[in-house]
Chains A and B, each alone.
Chain A
Amino acid sequence: MADVLTFPVPGKLYFKKGSLPVALRELRDVYRVSRAAVTADEAMRHDGRIDAVTRVLQDLGLSYAVNSTSFTAEAAIAFGSHETWDALPETGLRIIIPTRIDTIGAKAWLGADMVILDEDVLHDDTPLPVQRWQILDNARRSLKGENASDYTLAWAVQAMRLVFDGDDSAETLLHAASLARLAYAAAVPGDARMGTEDLLDDAAAALCTTAHALEQRICGYAVTALGDR
């Protein structure tokens, strides 16, 4: 294991239904930005979902452009899938507004200045059993990451707890998914190196169960999810 570990998280993680316009107000009121470049999936532009962002920018009196390569701006906003998150420039203020949560992209969140999880724009239409399984799978895999720590474990276990004992509401699953993805992104380095240890025992103890029972339980969810695919 490395000599030093860190617990990377997005600069600011904002959440709750309706948080998008409130959080974006910071562009003007905190960062004093006047120009913002928006990167969005083409689909978002076509079906008008992009309005959720552009309307706020308009109200704030900011100049902006969507998917323009020539527009220079102090802030970049990615709206949509992980393809947009990865397209963010290296410098300047970086804001991610996911419209879906996916595993590959969550790493980009860690480098962002702001991530906004707003249920008004963030939906997961994956079947419920599959969602649950994906959460558990990410959480489980995070336990083996080279940079796994008590911090990442705390979030992975919380994600599992929410799947096992939560109310299955869209909000609960959203945050379970986000916790599991963040834990995974923080625990597994960019090159997907796995550690020599597996924190499964600790995770099981934290959930007041045995490692074997926990593995069994996760397997059960995998089987149900497969049946649903």
Chain B
Amino acid sequence: MSNAKQKEPVTIVDSVETLEIRLAEIRKAQEQYATYTQEQVDAIFRAAAIAANHARIPLAKMAVEETGMGIVEDKVIKNNYAAEHIYNAYRNVKTCGVIEEDPVYGVTKIAEPIGVIAAVIPTTNPTSTAIFKCLLALKTRNGIIISPHPRAKASTIAAAKIVLDAAVKAGAPAGLIGWVDVPSLEMTNMVMKEADIILATGGPGMVKAAYSSGTPAIGVGAGNASAVIDKSADIINAVNSIIHSKTFDNGMICATEQTIIAHKDVYDAVRDELVKRGCYMLNDEEKDKIRRTMLINGALNAKIVGQRPVTIAKLAGFEVPEDVKVLVGEVESTSVDEAFAHEKLTTILALYKADSFEEAMDKAEQILVNAGGLGHTSSLWVDEVNEREKIMTFADRMKTCRILVNTPSSLGGIGDLYNFKFTPSLTLGCGSWGGNSVSENVGVKHLLNIKTVAERRENMLWFRTPDKVYFKKGCLPVALSELRDVLHKKRVFLVTDSFLYKNGFTKVITDKLTDMGIAYTVFSDVEPDPTLLSAQKGAEAMRSFEPDCVIALGGGSAMDAGKIMWVLYEHPEADFLDMAMRFIDIRKRVYTFPEMGQKAYFIAIPTSSGTGSEVTPFAVITDQTTGHKYPLADYQLLPNMAIIDTDLMMSAPKGLTAASGFDAMVHALEAYVSVMATDYTDGLAIRAMQLIFANLPTAYNDGTNVAAREKMATASTMAGMAFANAFLGVCHSMAHKLGAYHHLPHGVANALLLTDVMRYNASEKPRKMGTFSQYKFPHALERYCECAKACGVTGETNEEIFEKFLAKLEALKETIGIKKTIRDYGVDEKAFLDSLDQMSEDAFDDQCTGANPRYPLISEIRAMYLKAYYGEEK
């Protein structure tokens, strides 16, 4: 190639241009490495870890020589740790491609590399941190460009090179790991700007630069750990562990103790033990000298970092014996002006006395806030068995991401040495308190992009009914005998309305109860569309009677009132508004309904054919103060037993027969087109429709016709079972509010709205369709036509069948005396229009709306109300 612009191969990176070329090389290598398999990656990871481990001693020597800080033998441990513990922690962790697969839930997780990591390495751990970051990069298929600290560049680069050579030898693309040979602030900034992610370990300035670079960054901040020694602690263990920790590599690990705060009762013991083990207590004059040497213009003096006491003392202008381990300054102030309160990164410790455990925590907190170290590490020495509460209080109070208990914090904080579930790392996140994005010990998961492939799954569905459903004309006394023979009940509370009570409907039941020797009382004050107030009264009566069985006898009103009384009786503490809280998924609702049946068994016995309340988990109740109607829904409200005996329905007046009979029709239709419909509810809904078309006219015209009454009773319960599980739709939402605002019987309100709602739902291109995983496309039209055909409607096209079906429903309404419009029921036009906006909004918010196949807009509901009022589009 004779490209004049072709550059010379770069040997060292010392300028913006050479850095660009190196970055391009790393990028190219990384692109190739991204195609490697887990197996290949693991082999490379292993080879690199072994090579780093082999070089632990020369690298340690080199680091100490170059930086003049720390202790060779301890740096050997750090290098060894960075190779061995990191390898061991991740050897079997999946980091390439599919890392997790859950076919049941349909979730697959795929790990992909991020690209090129910019690694900023500190002087304090120049080789171990380099090894650590390079190994993480290899394991995650990332490239890495290292920006060493100017004072430690040779050793950092040597470490990186060892890892790179071993990796390439094991098959990694050449050039995957790169570094800046001549570091400067400008170069570091550029490295950070060009990389795909920054992994910055260092002082606050460096971390801030990383976060400000515009590149996603994992920067971790400065430590300043306090060790609180409670009076319950094992002092000898505590002090010796702290000395061991503090002297490790001359105090250069960021998690190292900088301060001891000892309880006054053990303060002297702590002090004595420190002295006994070779620590030096500074006198006042020496303390001042140290203070002046330690901080220069508020910043830590680099000359004392990682030094032994003898060296520090000399720098400060006094002498201590050669073998002193730590210089200890007894101090009181926790303010920013107290140099001893700061992070020292060397063999100097502050010692505070606290009057109580409380005060010790106060001091530790003040130090974090005033002198730095928020988010990093704190430690507590305490009796772990008998003082659990102190541990939790301490954990609660400290704004640090590592809270170590009875553990030397330097080697304890980096993980896996004193606690084997604690992630090993040389980069420790400090959370938002430390201005960081990560609060854990940084590991491979922070260097991967994880894709989640989520496949569509359908919600679990169910079919539930009361435990026992008895039916057949005349079954009531037989079914009730279970109360004594099987259930062994002793006290029955019978809920009904005054009409039914006065007309002797309760007699069959009370006679049978007397027969069986079961005590009972009757509550007969239920009004139509029962209110919360009356339910509360009933519950009060229950509380004084203490029944073990509640029987609700009557239409929807008595059964619903009975259910609410039952709840209030079993759970006087339950809040009604909580129970009425709207939900999207009954199984995930925020409010957990109280558990029912602890005190009483619940039996529902309908006297009208319509609501299906005897088999539903719903109860509709009106708040007497606002007039709002609330449909409560929870399977806890499902009766335990339902007894459907036609004998009780023979005398239902025409109006009730028509209204409640048509209500059942609407239940069946709404359940069938509900987004939650299932094969189990479909079969019941269709059968119910067939029976209603065939029998409602007769039941209406000739109330004495037993067969028609019986079929209507069955239809109503079947429709109830269908909507108990598939739920209803927007026709009921609208009917609830229309009934509440303008006092129309529930069934009539539904009848007036039904065909308009069906037309609305049947649209093939609805503005919005219902949201439910199994509802795949708008198919209400087709579903209505299935109903139509099962009910004998025929036609050429779906449109034709649908129109004929609507006509058939309208004809049924006419036969049973239901008028055409809301206006025909004498609802005042002005009153209707005045309420319209509020009514539309309330209907939209009704619990029944969620299962509707078309998700309604409030304006659409409003338009349907108007249409139903006038009988024509307005």
Contacts and interface: CB of A to CB of B under 8 A. Distances in A.
Contacts of B425: none
Contact of A17 (B457, B690, B718): B457
Contacts of A179: 679-680, 683
A208 interface: yes
B470 A5 contact: yes
A4 interface: yes
Contacts of B475: 3-5
B789 A16 contact: no
* Shortest beta-carbon contacts, A-B, top 7: A158-B683, A154-B687, A19-B460, A4-B475, A175-B679, A13-B463, A154-B683
Contacts of A75: none
B458 A16 contact: yes
Interface string A155-189: 10111011000000000100110010000000000
B468 A6 contact: yes
B5 to A, nearest CB: 59
B456 to A, nearest CB: 11
A4 B644 CA distance: 10
B718 A151 contact: yes
B711 interface: yes
B276 to A, nearest CB: 48
Given A13-B462, A151-B684, A18 B789 contact: no
20 contacts: A3-B475, A9-B465, A11-B467, A12-B463, A13-B463, A15-B460, A16-B458, A17-B457, A17-B458, A18-B105, A18-B460, A150-B715, A151-B714, A154-B683, A155-B683, A157-B683, A157-B687, A158-B680, A179-B680, A206-B790
A4 B478 contact: yes
B744 to A, nearest CB: 30
A151 B720 CA distance: 12
Interface in B409-463: 457-463
B469 interface: yes
A23 interface: yes
Given A3-B474, A13-B680, A175-B679, A158 B686 contact: yes
A13 B681 CA distance: 12
A136 B790 CA distance: 18
B663 interface: no
Contacts of B459: 16
Contact of B469 (A2, A7, A20): A7
Given A150-B715, A154-B683, A205-B690, 14 more contacts: A16-B460, A18-B105, A19-B460, A120-B103, A151-B469, A155-B680, A155-B684, A157-B686, A158-B682, A158-B686, A159-B683, A162-B679, A206-B687, A207-B790
Interface residues of B, number: 42
A21 interface: yes
B58 interface: no
A14 B460 contact: yes
Nearest to A174: B679
A157 to B, nearest CB: 6
A18 B679 contact: no
B472 interface: yes
B785 to A, nearest CB: 12
A6 B686 contact: no
B826 interface: no
Contacts of A2: 472
Contacts of B470: 4-6
Contact of B471 (A7, A17, A159, A161): A7
B792 interface: yes
Interface in A120-140: 120
Interface in B461-514: 461-465, 467-472, 474-475, 478-479
B462 A154 contact: no
A54 interface: no
A149 B470 CA distance: 12
B679 A158 contact: yes
Interface string A14-51: 11111111110000000000000000000000000000
B462 A15 contact: yes
B458 A3 contact: no
A153 interface: yes
Contact of A5 (B465, B471, B691): B471
A125 to B, nearest CB: 20
A9 B687 contact: no
Interface string B695-737: 0000000000000000100110010000000000000000000
Contact of B462 (A12, A151, A208): A12
Contacts of A172: 679
Contacts of A6: 468-471
B572 interface: no
B104 interface: yes
B232 to A, nearest CB: 32
Nearest to B465: A9
Nearest to A207: B790
A149 B106 CA distance: 41
Contact of B460 (A4, A22, A150, A162): A22
A151 B103 CA distance: 37
A183 to B, nearest CB: 9
Interface in B193-219: none
B534 interface: no
Contacts of B524: none
B590 to A, nearest CB: 15
B335 interface: no
A207 B474 CA distance: 30
Contacts of A175: 678-680
B164 to A, nearest CB: 42
A162 B467 CA distance: 27
Contacts of A159: 683
Contacts of A18: 104-106, 457-458, 460
Contacts of A17: 457-458
Contacts of A22: 460
A25 to B, nearest CB: 10
Given A18-B106, A22-B460, A150 B678 contact: no
Interface string B669-687: 0000000001110111011
Nearest to A165: B786
B461 A208 contact: no
Contacts of B471: 4-7, 149
Contacts of B461: 14-16, 19
Given A4-B479, A5-B470, A16-B461, A208 B679 contact: no
Interface string B94-106: 0000000001111
A3 B478 contact: yes
Contacts of A11: 464, 467
B641 to A, nearest CB: 10
Contact of B686 (A9, A21, A149, A154): A154
A161 B786 CA distance: 11
Contact of B789 (A120, A151, A153, A208): A208
A195 B789 CA distance: 30
A181 B37 CA distance: 50
A136 to B, nearest CB: 15
Contacts of B460: 14-16, 18-19, 22-23
Contacts of B104: 18, 20-21, 52, 120
A18 B714 CA distance: 34
